[in-house]
């Protein structure tokens, strides 16, 4: 699935500004939109700059579907690891500063998305447009992580994240 998309960092065709255009995004899946928004939000919360800080980043996506594709579209595929737990969640780790953030899609976003797209013709379109327009704080719950590896654990963390 991931091999079929352009995974260059910050692909200009997939940035949120392009997702805001209904003409360009009619074919984009709901989870793909969530993945793109999730990646951009995590980068901002971790105060990273792409592509410069990409090597510092480790990403663990908890779903093997379009969510992972959306995250991969914004980041380098090499920094993304998929752990298929069937959750709409991902953990983003800054290996240099030993901190991270776990983002989980809020269940309430599904029902509230329609409020952001009153012109939508159906529920699917309302959710897609709503996910593109909603504030990240309404889309995701964020849990900050502080990594404290020591000894053998530090080496294992480095191997898993590279």
48 and 94 Cβ atoms separated by less than 8 Å:
yes
Rounded Cα–Cα distance for residues 104 and 91 (Å): 9
CATH 3.40.50.1580 assigned to domain 2-154? The reply is no
pTM: 0.75
C-alpha dist (Å) from residue 91 to 31, 44, 76, 84: 16, 14, 15, 13
d(CA 98, CA 77): 21
What are the structural domain ranges in the chain?
A: 2-154
> What phi and psi, each to the nearest 5 degrees, are found at residue 140?
-130, 145
Read off the DSSP letter of residue 122. S
d(CA 154, CA 126): 45
Residues 6+ apart with CB under 8 A from 78: none
**Contact residues for 153 (Cβ-Cβ < 8 A; gap 6+):** none
The tens-digit pLDDT sequence of the chain (162 residues) is 222 233 333 333 344 443 543 334 445 789 999 999 999 999 999 999 888 888 889 999 998 889 999 998 888 767 788 888 989 999 999 989 999 999 999 999 999 999 999 999 999 999 999 999 999 999 999 999 988 766 655 555 454 543
């Amino acid at each position: 699935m991931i091999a079929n998309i352009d995974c260059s960092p910050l692909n200009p065709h997939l940035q949120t500004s392009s997702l805001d255009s209904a003409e360009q995004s009619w074919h984009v899946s709901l989870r793909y939109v969530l993945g793109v928004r999730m990646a951009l939000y995590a980068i901002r919360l971790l105060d990273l700059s792409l592509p410069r800080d990409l090597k510092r980043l480790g990403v663990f996506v908890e779903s093997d579907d379009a969510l992972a594709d959306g995250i991969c579209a914004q980041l380098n595929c090499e920094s993304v690891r998929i752990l298929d737990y069937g959750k709409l969640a991902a953990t983003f780790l800054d290996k240099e500063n030993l901190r991270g953030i776990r983002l989980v899609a809020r269940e309430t976003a599904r029902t509230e998305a329609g409020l952001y797209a009153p012109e939508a013709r159906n529920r699917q379109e309302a959710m897609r447009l709503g996910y593109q327009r909603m504030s990240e704080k309404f889309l995701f719950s964020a849990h900050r992580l502080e990594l404290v590896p020591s000894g053998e654990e530090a080496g294992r963390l480095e191997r898993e994240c590279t």
